[in-house]
Amino acid sequence: MPTCAYHPEDQAVTTCLDCLKPICPVCFRYLGGHDRCAPCAAKVLRARKVRSVFFTAAGMALVAVAAVVVFTTRNPFRYGAHSGRVDELRGRLESAPCDAAAAVELGDVLLQAGASHEVEPMAKAFAARCGRNAQLLWKVYGAAKQTGQWSRALAVATDLIEHDPTDKDYWWWPGIVHEQLGHHEAAISDYEQTLAIRPDLDAIPFNLADLYERLHRPCEALAVVEQYLSWHPEHRDVPRIRTRRERLQREGRCAETVHGEAAGR
């Protein structure tokens, strides 16, 4: 056996598979089931690393492409548990484009599936084909609120009020949005109009009282609570309501005014 190609003073024990040079035990690398010298073994390892990086990048690219396909086409994952119902309702609208019940339910299902951004485009397409539908606008309002598009939610609520100013809900809907935006006076006006239409409501009075308190107007807040109790006297001894009345009376020193107004009624 000749001497090592890299260490002439040492006896070679084998030859490199790739370069065929004789190599001693110091230079010998057993790699991939074959004998290789150190430089050739290093080349093999570098080539393997390059292939690994390439295939990893290619794999990530394939995953990205698959994700685009999943989220831009109909598939069983896009709407989770609601996917089947979404496809069924869209099928109904394809065969009967003006099926208002299907459109309204589709709006509901999209909201439940977390696809609020798809509600308004669907509603606009329906309106273009079949005309205005108030119930479908309810879903557009809900989608706008869910996605924080407060100006759009106000626009929809305003449209609904213009078409039916006697519906109590259409007045407190913008009130909720105005309150969210910090437009306290506008919200108060909306809630008061709601109660002018339906004074016996059991939630909006407390929205209104909360706003009056926020504006440091305890007597007006107390008047709202007292009006609520005139419609729901069975709640007069509910602890949280009784405590609130007492606090408002104490803070505003308005017990006599409120009682006087109540007696006047």
pLDDT in tens, 11-70: 666 777 777 677 676 665 654 555 777 788 778 777 777 666 655 665 565 555 555 544
Mean pLDDT, to the nearest integer, of 6-14?
69
Tokens found for residue 243: 């405590």
Q: Which pLDDT value is given to residue 264? A: 42
Work out the pLDDT band at 262, boundaries 50, 70, 90. Answer: very low
Q: Does some domain include residue 22?
A: yes
Give the domain range for residue 144.
76-148
Number of domains in the chain: 2
Q: Are residues 121 and 102 in the same domain?
A: yes
Least confident range from 73-77, 127-131, 187-191, 259-263: namely: 259-263
Mean pLDDT of the chain: 83
Contacts for 84 with CB less than 8 Å, ≥ 6 apart:
none
pLDDT > 60? residue 260? no
Tell me, yes or no, whether 115 lies in a domain: yes
The DSSP output letter for 234 is G
Alpha-helical (H) ranges within 96-203 are 100-112, 119-130, 134-146, 150-163, 168-181, 184-197
Quickly count helices (H) and strands (E) in the chain: 12, 4
User: Does 39 map to a domain?
Assistant: yes
Q: Would the pTM count as exceeding 0.85?
A: no
Domain shared by 98 and 129, yes or no = yes
* CATH number of domain containing 101: 1.25.40
Domain membership of residue 202 (yes or no) is: no
Burial of residue 227, with CB atoms counted within 10 A of its CB: 0-12 exposed, 13-18 middle, 19 or more buried: buried
d(C-alpha 205, C-alpha 208), whole Å: 5
* Residue 170 confidence (pLDDT) above 70: yes
108-147 pLDDT, tens digit per residue, is 999 999 999 999 999 999 999 999 999 999 999 999 999 9
- The domain boundary residue, chosen from 97, 118, 148: 148
Task: Classify residue 72 by burial, with Cβ atoms within 10 Å: 0-12, 13-18, 19+.
Answer: exposed
Residues 134, 102 share a domain: yes
Residue 182 lies inside a defined structural domain of this protein: no
Q: Report yes or no on 174 lying in a domain.
A: no
133 and 98 assigned to the same domain: yes
**Structure token digits, residue 219:** 């007597």
Burial class (CB in 10 A: 0-12, 13-18, 19+), 73: exposed
More confident residue, 74 or 77: 77
